[in-house]
Structure 1
Amino acid sequence: MKNRNSKSALLILIATGLIVCSSCKKYLDVENPSTVSQDAVFPSLSYTESAVIGVYNKLMGDNGYGSRISLLYPMAAEDFKTSGDYNPLDRRGLSCYGASPDNTELDKPFIQLYEGIERANICIKYIPLSDLYNDGTAAEKTAMRRLYGEVLTLRAQFYHELIRNWGDVPAHLQPSADVSNLYLPKTDRDSIYNVLLEDLNTAAELLPWRGEAGEDLSTRITKGAAKGLRARIALARGGYSLRREPQVMTRRDDYKDFYKIALDECREIMESGKHGLNPSFENLFKTLHNSNRQDANHEWIFEAGAFGGNARTDSKLGYANGIRINANSSYGSANGGVVAIPTYFYEFDSIGDSRRDVTLAYFEVDGTDNKVLTGATDMRDGKYRKYWTSINGTNQTLGINWPILRYADVLLMFAEADNELNNGPSAQAISAYEAVRKRAYTGYESRMGTTPTDKAGFFNALAKERLLEFGGEGVRKYDLIRWNLLASKITETRAKLREFMTGTGRYANVPQYIYTIANKLKNGTIPAEIADFNLYGGEVSKVMYQPDQTTTTPSGHLKKNWRAAVTEEYITGSRQGFALAFKENSRELFPIYTGILNQNFNLSQDYGY
């Protein structure tokens, strides 16, 4: 969390030894009662806050939203995937839907999420028992209730992440020290979600709106975050998911009850006036990179805060994803292990949609600080850029926050729920949808097109808008799963890739090759950077959308594969094929790591693994 108050609380936490920070290695480890004492912690407001910061700490790091949960688990839709050849035992197995139960990338994140739950459970039990909570001053009661609301919300976030990746999981809802048998079997996810929805309703009553409690930090949970997460979980609860018995994608008959929850929660956030859209899509993501916040409208409702320059509390965002940067450049190295699906580039409007050039980085930085055009299969995630930070050299931890919830998502969740409940969009739903779209098309509103007003047409437009809006933010895969569209979108994307390769259909005017001259990275605004490209044939909006202009490489230019970069191996091959190991009604969820199964004899693998 890149702010002084959060860091001070963390230092108190470490100095007093109230919470064990690094000793938990096993799924069923219990926080040491000798270091977690309700008598020492919860009668003190400052110590209670430190204990709550200890719960927040389990969001981040290599095994949280600093790397694996953010950059490996969700990157498997028609926007982005992880780079490299398929291997069921490493990160590529996750992206290709073929992770083995022995894949070690599945181990520590699962454990860390439960560590966060354990810490939250301790706080959830003891905060309401505290004298400050019940008999303190008015200010102390308010502060303790806020902290209680925060840990209820954090526990819900941890469980939501577990459920959307593994389905039914053990429901640990008490401190482990209070449980006689820690070897719990799986609990039906609907039961867990029902508890979380009630918890979040309670949390929202206790939490202040942003700016009402003396702090203005999007790395601390507020009423808007609790309500937004409640809406998201309600849509997941009301959506499709892969069941154990029978092993098929289904949704429950009462799903509209949960769409109504989402509708109401989003409406309250919208009517609060506490959050709005950032007028600049570019500045929205620059805000994640440094303390110079450029989000006066508070579109960021909740971010997982990164700090400390280490693998436990910081993130590898901007290094492990984002633009590739040569180690010899003045910015230092960035690996950029998340790559875009080539057809994603052409989902955006060629001229009007400002999100394309923020979301997609189709250049890399060489050892002399030149920007060099990439091939179509080497585009990176442009929302995260090491050169937007003040950190260079060999550093891999850059203090970049991971986005969990923003106001644009609230608007689109509202529009989706409204459309489903009313058998078509209301005027308010259309307005919410168009607000997101208009921000993207600022200055080019005439290219937005007409918003459909029928239920199916509006849903399709909204689903497309979410693809364009949230690329690289770990949203798309889970959207497709809850809509039961993952299998059909994988098939559709393979067909698009084949048309891209052959230059047919909508890709008939896409060039096989692009010719470019490398020139210096400007590191200014993104429109200025793109306008400064030196491409043979003109600007990006022209060259990328017309057939090849020459059959020989012009003097002084580099030849880059564009359509030619996509091969049959890339589409259906055994090493690189798009979502090559996907099996409907099985691979929508991950297997549980073998070592975790060995710790708990009551757990089963399920889902065809």
Structure 2
Amino acid sequence: MKKTIKNINRSVLAGTLGILILVTSCKEVTDLQPNSSFSEESAFSSPARVALAMTGVYSAAQMGVYTSGAIERGYPFGAANTIQQDARGEDVIAVPSFFGITYEGTYGINTANNTAMWETSYALINRANVVIEGVQKAGAAGIIPAALALQYEGEARFLRALAHHELLVHFARPYSHTPGATHPGVPYRTVAASSPSAVDANKSQSRNSVKDCYDKILVDLDFAETNLPATYAAGLKVSRATKGAAIAIKTRINLHIGNWAAVVTEGNKIISGTATFTSPIGGYALTATPNGPFITASNLTNSESIFSIENSTTRNAGTNGSISTMYTKAAGRALVAISPIIFNAPFWLPADLRRTSLTATDGRGYFSAKYPDFVTWTDANPIIRYAEVLLNVAEANSRQSAAPSPQALALLNAVRNRAVTTAASQYTIASFATGAALTQAILNERRIEFLAEGHRWGDIHRLVNDTPYSTGGIPSKVAYGNTTIASWNPAVPYAGTRSVAAIPYSDFRFIWPIPVSETNTNPTLKDQQNPDW
């Protein structure tokens, strides 16, 4: 029977199949517009159609369907991963009432946000799997060169790894939860659900252990590193997966595992130099100023952004989902504010340039200024920057030394000193009595540097069992209604009310439930639901 490749609207196990095929009017644009569907047999029948199929995987990463009504709000990686991970932490405030369910931890098995994250992530994974199978056949048949088939497979496996990790931090306990990480992760799906028998195979698949998931993520990323190019033409060097992007994500994955030596090994592949660090692969380097990666016109061409999801004037998460409108003060919608918890933190110095260039006030609160295009919503969603690689490796170096590590300090200062420009305020090795104190400073720096980029939940999740750096669970938070503009004061640590109660790590709400849309059609996962949900 002829199989047609169509847009996936729901989870793989809801019976949806295939991938969206896309076309473009410009070869240097990743974010493309939909064309008609092709049969699966013809989708990989020519080099042009194979290229369109690969673009469809990026499309799924940028803009999956939020509800059955075909609403698009940037799930999983066009915007939603950033907003949802931030809203799960304490360093932003959900201004009533758009993201209140995530912010307050009142989600359940039917909640739209976590349901959409599950469904669109697995839709992305399925598109990746369809393309992996398709390009393997196209390469073997000589339709495309073997090297190009391996490149496309590397791109698809990179995105598959990224999606599985996003699922792990929301729906599974962290790697450290059990010895050997033997507790349930998520189903690591590698079979394309492009036929009824393949759907049945996915439907019967159990949750892989967390360790197995992380092992498979690293296998996918190793393949991507081996087969991806170091860079592309200027318009694609950030929006398409590269060798450097695979390495960079591996530093993040190994940080979650707690494999400090592996973080350093991977990071050193793309770190050279001493005080001014650059990458021999891809030419990555920090921009001269903290706001360099967030200038809309150069989102996809600056030296620091390693991999970002492109948004365009014709394809974006819109007024109800884009990072540009949610984080930005009026005339943006200003629905995600910076919390005075981080704004007033003593380790974020008042003269730090990130306060003046990357925050803004509307006279009522403070908001991020990282995503300024609130009119056409074209700001790219940053997935990983060179600054993160430097801080990942800094932390891993520091973790392995009882005394302050000079290399960890140099990496930290590379990021911090472009914003803290007064010599008297900059760190020296004498600033830290122990390696643990330096590690804490690196973790503090992450909260400043990656504010409003969706990093806070990942750090809460991976550090929750890591004394002395643990928050003990989801921290208590500030309700916007309990603040005035005076609540934001970098000279005075915030001591106001935190009326959004903390959720301890032992509470079942620390992780999200598998959505009912999945468990209703998947008896295997229904029996493996997270406890107490």
Give the TM-score taking structure 2 as reference length: 0.79
Selected match of 2:314 from 303, 309, 314: 309
Letter in 1 for 2:515: Y
1:21 matches 2:27: no
Higher alpha-carbon deviation: 344-353 or 308-317:
308-317
Deviation at 1:439, TM superposition (A): 1.3
1:487 matches 2:467: no
**Equivalent residue for 2:269?**
268
Tell me the distance in 2 between the aligned counterparts of 1:54 and 1:294: 19
Selected match of 1:224 from 244, 248, 257: 244
CA contact (8 A) 1:67 1:320 kept: no
**Equivalent residue for 1:285?**
294
CA contact (8 A) 2:359 2:369 kept: yes
CA contact (8 A) 2:348 2:448 kept: no
Letter in 2 for 1:339: A
Deviation at 1:486, TM superposition (A): 5.2
Tell me the distance in 1 between the aligned counterparts of 2:398 and 2:89: 24
Selected match of 1:341 from 339, 342, 345: 339
Letter in 2 for 1:119: R
Matches of residues 32-71 of structure 1 in structure 2 within 5 Å? 32=18, 39-61=41-63, 62=73, 63-71=75-83
Structure 2, unaligned runs of 5 or more: 21-36, 64-72, 173-184, 273-278
Matches of residues 570-589 of structure 1 in structure 2 within 5 Å? 571-572=498-499, 577=500, 579-581=501-503, 584-589=506-511
**Equivalent residue for 1:556?**
none
CA contact (8 A) 2:11 2:118 kept: no
Query: Secondary structure at the residue paired with 1:440?
Result: coil
Higher alpha-carbon deviation: 227-236 or 174-183:
174-183
1:437 matches 2:391: no
Higher alpha-carbon deviation: 61-70 or 274-283:
61-70
Letter in 1 for 2:392: M
CA contact (8 A) 1:203 1:226 kept: yes
Selected match of 1:403 from 372, 382, 389: 382
Matches of residues 382-397 of structure 1 in structure 2 within 5 Å? 382-386=369-373, 391=375
**Equivalent residue for 2:209?**
188
Query: Secondary structure at the residue paired with 1:81?
Result: strand
Tell me: CA distance 1:263–1:37, structure 2 relative to 1, closer, same or farther (3 Å). farther
**Equivalent residue for 2:523?**
601
Matches of residues 340-359 of structure 1 in structure 2 within 5 Å? 340-347=338-345, 349-359=348-358
Letter in 2 for 1:381: S
Tell me the distance in 1 between the aligned counterparts of 2:10 and 2:522: 16
CA contact (8 A) 2:14 2:517 kept: no
Letter in 1 for 2:249: L
Tell me the distance in 2 between the aligned counterparts of 1:349 and 1:227: 30
Tell me: CA distance 1:268–1:589, structure 2 relative to 1, closer, same or farther (3 Å). same
Deviation at 1:113, TM superposition (A): 0.7
Tell me: CA distance 1:33–1:295, structure 2 relative to 1, closer, same or farther (3 Å). closer
Deviation at 1:192, TM superposition (A): 1.6
Please provide the CA RMSD for this pair: 3.3
Query: Secondary structure at the residue paired with 1:405?
Result: strand
Selected match of 2:255 from 235, 240, 248: 235
Query: Secondary structure at the residue paired with 1:472?
Result: coil
1:116 matches 2:137: no
Tell me the distance in 1 between the aligned counterparts of 2:315 and 2:244: 30
Aligned residues: 469
Tell me the distance in 1 between the aligned counterparts of 2:56 and 2:318: 11
Query: Secondary structure at the residue paired with 1:608?
Result: coil
Query: Secondary structure at the residue paired with 1:276?
Result: coil
Tell me: CA distance 1:312–1:280, structure 2 relative to 1, closer, same or farther (3 Å). closer
Matches of residues 164-563 of structure 1 in structure 2 within 5 Å? 164-167=169-172, 168-176=185-193, 177=195, 179=198, 180-183=200-203, 184-211=205-232, 216-238=236-258, 258-271=259-272, 272-273=279-280, 274-286=283-295, 289-290=296-297, 292=298, 296=302, 298-310=303-315, 316-325=322-331, 334-347=332-345, 349-361=348-360, 363-364=361-362, 373-374=363-364, 378-386=365-373, 391=375, 398-424=377-403, 426-442=405-421, 444-451=422-429, 452=432, 454-484=434-464, 485=469, 487-488=471-472, 513=486, 545=491
Query: Secondary structure at the residue paired with 2:326?
Result: coil
Letter in 2 for 1:200: L
Tell me: CA distance 1:445–1:46, structure 2 relative to 1, closer, same or farther (3 Å). farther
Tell me the distance in 2 between the aligned counterparts of 1:512 and 1:69: 28
Deviation at 1:453, TM superposition (A): 6.3
Letter in 2 for 1:275: Y
Deviation at 1:229, TM superposition (A): 1.1
CA contact (8 A) 1:185 1:602 kept: yes
CA contact (8 A) 2:306 2:386 kept: yes
Matches of residues 77-92 of structure 1 in structure 2 within 5 Å? 77-84=89-96, 91-92=99-100
Tell me the distance in 1 between the aligned counterparts of 2:141 and 2:224: 17
Selected match of 1:142 from 123, 131, 147: 147
- Which of the two has higher C-alpha Rg? 1
Query: Secondary structure at the residue paired with 2:324?
Result: coil
Tell me: CA distance 1:448–1:595, structure 2 relative to 1, closer, same or farther (3 Å). same
Cα deviation 1:100-155 (Å, max 9, x = unaligned):
2222222222111111100111122232232x467578xx3333322121111010
Letter in 2 for 1:146: Q
Cα deviation 1:482-538 (Å, max 9, x = unaligned):
0115534866x67xx89xx99xxxxxxxx9959xxxxxxxxxxxxxxxxxxxxxxxx
Question: Could you tell me the percent identity over the aligned residues?
Answer: 23
Tell me the distance in 1 between the aligned counterparts of 2:105 and 2:84: 11
Tell me: CA distance 1:342–1:59, structure 2 relative to 1, closer, same or farther (3 Å). same
CA contact (8 A) 2:11 2:122 kept: no
**Equivalent residue for 1:161?**
166
Tell me the distance in 2 between the aligned counterparts of 1:157 and 1:423: 33
Tell me: CA distance 1:293–1:71, structure 2 relative to 1, closer, same or farther (3 Å). closer
CA contact (8 A) 1:27 1:599 kept: yes
Cα deviation 1:408-446 (Å, max 9, x = unaligned):
00001111112223445543222111111111123x232
Cα deviation 1:233-275 (Å, max 9, x = unaligned):
122233xxxxxxxxxxxxxxxxxxx332221111101134310
**Equivalent residue for 1:535?**
none
CA contact (8 A) 2:474 2:503 kept: no
Tell me the distance in 2 between the aligned counterparts of 1:134 and 1:200: 26
